[in-house]
Every structure is written in structure tokens, then in C-alpha cells.
A and B are shown apart, each in its own frame.
Chain A
């Protein structure tokens, strides 16, 4: 069968909502797109452990400490599921790490912002995880089987993340003046970066059409962003707080909230390395990896010794 027929057959499978599995034939570009997207997603989870990990040792109650630790640990788990999914496409985790550590691979720009107060733990859960969930739910139906399955597992686990964030902010909003101030300040700082998380605005492009056609993606950035804004604009009222956007208002005709212009310059600057914490985050990841090299070698060496001894014993 020639490539054109194979591609036609492949697209036909996708159109009929048949999942693609690792050993199935797939266009090289499909494989590359998936590797890029899944590994970026995995890196985002791993780097995403750091801004929140920053507060584990300072959590203000034992209950909050346990919740935050479990949440950050979950993110490690999610990174692991995603790296595993990408590995079915013929790339190793070490190779993906190398791309991350060398600065070649990207990850979600949101994690390059600093977590300055305890309220940031709430804002991240509510806004950042909220945005992530909105993006991730449709990915549970992505055309590539291992990716979709990883996303199902992730979405299931993620459901407590957003709730704990909102609950944390709710406690602050019911607290004293200082706590309410802390709460509003965190919302002010995290609002714009979190709506940037949906990515640049939709203008038709060959690239995206392809992703849609391959059903790696099912909704456009702007569709999801609007959905998110509509949801958060209502929820913020329960907190008795405001969103830092003077242009935010309900548009009866559209049936949606209108919102102000996003600073895309900031988005591209942060993506390309000039965010407040890019260097710090990458340095931390690199250090963990390099400091761990002797540990990984030791475990491998011990496993090899044990295997050799077992073989000798058997002989």
C-alpha cells in the first residue's frame, strides 16, 4: 500500500472515531505533533510542581499541608502518565528531559510566574487548574489512545485540585482584612496569565486545521477561553472579589462575558524565556536531574549486580 492510501485509511479511522494505537501506521507529522504536544504537557506538569512546592513547607495548617502535598505529588504523577504516553511514540523520557533542560522544549508559560503569598495556592488551584481542566477534558477524546487514556486518568484525579483552590480562597475571603487583601492580590496577579494559558487567539491556520482534522484537538483556544471567562466571572462573585479587568461585562446579545485585550507581548516574552521565573524553574529542574545522576546509576548498577548473582546462582 502506498503512503497516500495509508493516509486516507488513517484519516478514515480518525473520522470514524477509531482510536489510533502505538503500533498502528500513522503519518510522521501526526507522530511528531503528538510527541511535541504530549511532552510539552508533561513538562508543564513537572515544572508546575515547583511554584506550588514552594509553599508546602509553609502551609498554615496540617490539613492544608497534606492537601497541597498530595496535589503537587499528583502533578508529578500526571507528568509521569504523559511521559509514558509519549514514550509509546518512540521517544524516551530521558530524551524529553534533555529537550526540557536544554531549553528546547516549551512548557506552559504560567509556571514562570512567582508564587508570592499563600493565597497564590488558592488562585492556582481555582484559575490555573480550572483553565487546565477546561483544556484537558476534551483531550480525553483525543485520537491517540495512550494520550486519551492518560488524560482520562488525569482528569479524574484533577477534579479535587480546582475545588481545594476555591475552598482555600473562600476561607481567605471570609477572613480578616489582611487575608481578604491577600486573596484579591493573588486573583489580580493570576487572572491574566491564566486566560493566556489557552494560547493565542484563533486565526485560521494550516497547522491548527490539521490538529483538528486529526482530532488531537477538538475546540479552539478562543472557544475554551470564553467558556472559562464566563465560568470564572460568576464564581468570583461568591468570593466577593473582583477580576482585574475593567472591560469585563456581560454581553446580553452574545450570551457571553466580554473581556479586555490580552497582552500577547507578555505571553510571547514569557514563553520564550523572559518570564519572571523561567531561569529559576529550569535551573531547579536541571539541578534535581544532575544531582540525581549518581542515584540512578547506583540503582542500575545494583540491579545489574543482583541479576548477575542470580544468574551465577542458577548456573
Chain B
């Protein structure tokens, strides 16, 4: 008989012990929508995606973001957008999307070999 000796990892008590593997159970009723949160950490910087949260409406989403994501002075401005409104590029198309930029080296300043005498360029 084949003997499996199980090895467990932190936070992973295994499916054999009724771990949470099955996600097919019950549909959530009226869960507050999911929002993506973007925070500007200080003036002059871009807003950066920091995570997500649930809120009943946009106003609450901003306040929740303030309470959840800026407890340690991480931000001076918050954007929220309902997750369902985010349109993303398809990773399957990554090759046709991003690879064509590979051979356009002439777009980069290092492509051009200039004499050292030329300053400030």
C-alpha cells in the first residue's frame, strides 16, 4: 500500500482535516459591493493601488478606506472605484500587447551613442 506522510504548513491544516477547500457553498445575499482603493501617499505622487474593501456606497468606501488603509498616516488623498468597473487587459494577450515594445530600443535615450563632450543631454 502506498503510504503518504503528510507535511503541513503554517496556516494550512490540510483538506483531510476539513480545510476550507470547497467554495461552492451558498450564494452571498446582499453583500456590500467590493471597492478598489487607491491612495496618494504624499502630494506630488500618483495614487497607488493599495487593496480593496467592502462598502455600501462610495462615500462609505472612502471613509472605510481612511479607517482601514491610512491608520499610520499612509495617505493624503483617496480614490475608490467599484471593482466591477475596472476593465483590465487580458494576460493571455500579453505577448501581442507588450512584446512589440521590445524591439523599439530607439525609444530609450541610452540607444544613442554621443561623444562625452556633449554635456547636458
Residues of A whose CB lies within 8 Å of any CB of B are 21, 23-25, 32-33, 35-37, 39-41, 44, 73-74, 77, 80-81, 84, 87, 90-96, 98-100, 102, 104-106, 108, 135, 149-150, 153, 157, 197-200, 202-209, 211, 216-217, 220-221, 224, 268, 271-272, 296-297, 299-300, 302-303, 306-307
- Chain B 87-98, CB-CB to A under 8 Å as 1, else 0, gives 010111000000
Cα A96 to Cα B26 in complex, Å, equals 10
- Contact partners of A221 in chain B: CB under 8 A: 7-10
**Does B12 contact A211, Cβ atoms closer than 8 Å?**
yes
B92 is contacted by which of A25, A32, A84, A211 (Cβ under 8 Å)? A25
**Does B11 contact A44, Cβ atoms closer than 8 Å?**
yes
- Contact partners of B121 in chain A: CB under 8 A: none
Q: Which of B39-60 contact A (CB under 8 A)?
A: 50-54, 56-57, 60
Residues of B whose CB lies within 8 Å of any CB of A are 4-15, 17-23, 25-26, 28-32, 34, 50-54, 56-57, 60, 68, 71-72, 88, 90-92
- Contact partners of A199 in chain B: CB under 8 A: 8-10, 12-13
Q: Which of B7, B18, B26 has the most CB of A within 10 A?
A: B7
Cα A209 to Cα B8 in complex, Å, equals 10
**Does B31 contact A108, Cβ atoms closer than 8 Å?**
no
**Does B68 contact A77, Cβ atoms closer than 8 Å?**
yes
- B57, closest chain A residue (CB): A303
Least Cβ distance of B10 to chain A in Å? 4
Secondary structure at chain B's binding surface: helix, strand, loop or mixed?
loop
Secondary structure at chain A's binding surface: helix, strand, loop or mixed?
helix
- A40, closest chain B residue (CB): B11
Least Cβ distance of B15 to chain A in Å? 7
Cα A23 to Cα B90 in complex, Å, equals 7
> Could you list 14 A-B pairs, sorted by A, with CB under 8 Å?
A23-B88, A35-B23, A41-B11, A77-B71, A80-B68, A87-B34, A96-B20, A106-B17, A106-B19, A157-B72, A199-B12, A205-B4, A206-B4, A220-B7
A39 is contacted by which of B17, B20, B30, B68 (Cβ under 8 Å)? B20
Cα A99 to Cα B65 in complex, Å, equals 26
Least Cβ distance of A109 to chain B in Å? 8
- Contact partners of A23 in chain B: CB under 8 A: 88, 90-91
- Contact partners of B31 in chain A: CB under 8 A: 92-94
